[in-house]
Structure 1
Amino acid sequence: MSSLRFICQRCSQPLKRNQSMEMSQEPEALMLISAQGEPGETQEGGPPSREKADFENLNDSASCRTLPGLPGRRMSWDNSNNFILLGNLGSVRTINSRQKAASDIFDILSGERDVDHPLCEDCTDNLLEQLDVQVTITESEIQNYKCCLETREWISEDERETLQEKLKGLELEEARLVQELEEVEKNQERTAADLKAAQAETEMLDQQEKQYRKDYSKLKWQKLELYDALSSVETQLWYSQIQWDQLEKTNIFNATFEIWHDGALPTINNFRLGCLPTVPVCWNEINAAWGQTALLLLALSNTIGLEFQRYQLIPCGNHSHLKSLTDDCTELPLFSNGKNVFLHNKFDQAMMAFLDCMQQFKEVAEKGGSGLRLPYKIHVKKGLMEDPGSGGGFYPIRTHSNTEEEWTKALKLMLINFKCSLTWVSLRYCQK
């Protein structure tokens, strides 16, 4: 069998040649291995004299010997061309001539190389079908041309002129349509450019929309947080309003200063003011009670806009005192350590100065139609508290040459006057 193989020029599959193209299948037939296109190759059907001449030239140019075991087969070497020839001369001629003929036939069939050869059977069938279609179309066009030629012979001169005019009109219409087509193509190009720009703008708008959605979600979340904060603030405001209403109804003086009694001893903010032989009270508590009393008098005077003369009241807890405005700012303590208290002149002077300040408050508060009316009178110069209801009893507020009972009684009357003052100030000033 020949080693020469052909490939289909369309599907690139190896070709299976027809039996008429195959070489002899006898086992003693061998192949020729040489350079193709040798100038000495012969074609099938050539002159016998030329074949003999080629054979003689071949025998003369190479030393030949018979292959062992293969009678009638020769093997030759040519030192100049370096090829080996196997088999009989008749088989060699037949192979070369058939291969050359097949190659030439394929080149002739290829023509202008529109359809190259060789082709496989499937590709050939497909090509033949296409050619049949083209032949059918060509035959139809030929029939149409024949009909046109026959019709042309029957048309008169006037009809021919009419058709010529129609043809010119159609040509003009064609030119117009071609121009419109060009304009449409230009418009199509512009439209394509506009479409591309619109698509780019759409992408940009899509990105902006995504960003806007993110911003919207963020703002909505902030809105919900603000709603929660607003709800919390409204709740706090509602609670604060309730507290405010309650505070408005609350008397600040009554809530801050609570004047009451503990048996025979008067109290202010639970601090006992005074002492009895049967009820001893430590002086730290008495001093704290005096500090609360001084703070109360200062608050009342500030409420009605009173500025004390002769003395300045300075409340400092259990170390409160008064400062003299006429005697080189001498400090008068409203506290004591309990040692020889009833002989302590400065402490007595401070309590008498305190009665002076209270008298100034009374005089200012009693002015007007709705003035204050205190139940117990004050004698500043003598340092006495008068009880009109008990037959005109007088109780000194000094500790010197006095008893604990009378001193405590004077302090009690003083606190009762303060309690009435708290009620009056609450009704007149706090409601405003």
Structure 2
Amino acid sequence: MEGSKTSNNSTMQVSFVCQRCSQPLKLDTSFKILDRVTIQELTAPLLTTAQAKPGETQEEETNSGEEPFIETPRQDGVSRRFIPPARRCLEILEQMNEDDSEQLQMELKELALEEERLIQELEDVEKNRKTVAENLEKVQAEAERLDQEEAQHSGQFGTINNFRLGRLPSVPVEWN
């Protein structure tokens, strides 16, 4: 929680920041204005088991066995509160045995090999696609050129682009 401002109707403007990157979090509009009781609950000092006083209520005594929130001040003046379940998750990750770690490393290697295979397959498909696209362009250009040629015939003579081709029936053609 950071930078709170008091407005004239006993409510307070509140904003929150990410614990990792210290970027402001966008919250629902209902979270922007909190009443005085909620502000007191959020800003009240956190008691640890060492700070517990003899006059605590029964409810506070039952909660004192749980791990408290830990507040750490930073140089930027914004305090960070670390939530116990997140801390427990970190402890579990630290306590993970070597077998699990080795198994995860093997899975990571298998996934890396599969990624390389898929990348190679993608490159092959892309190369084939480019070849087909080039061939298609060549065929389309040839089709356009052929469409422009005018082929006609009159009798035994053919005409292609005003060039007469053919032979006389009485004159044999030699193919040497």
Q: Does TM, scored on the shorter chain, surpass 0.5? A: no
Structure with the higher strand share, 1 or 2: 2
Interval containing the TM-score (normalised by the shorter chain): 0.3 to 0.5
Structure with the higher helix share, 1 or 2: 1
**Larger radius of gyration between Structure 1 and Structure 2:** 1
Superposition TM-score, scaled by structure 2 size: 0.32
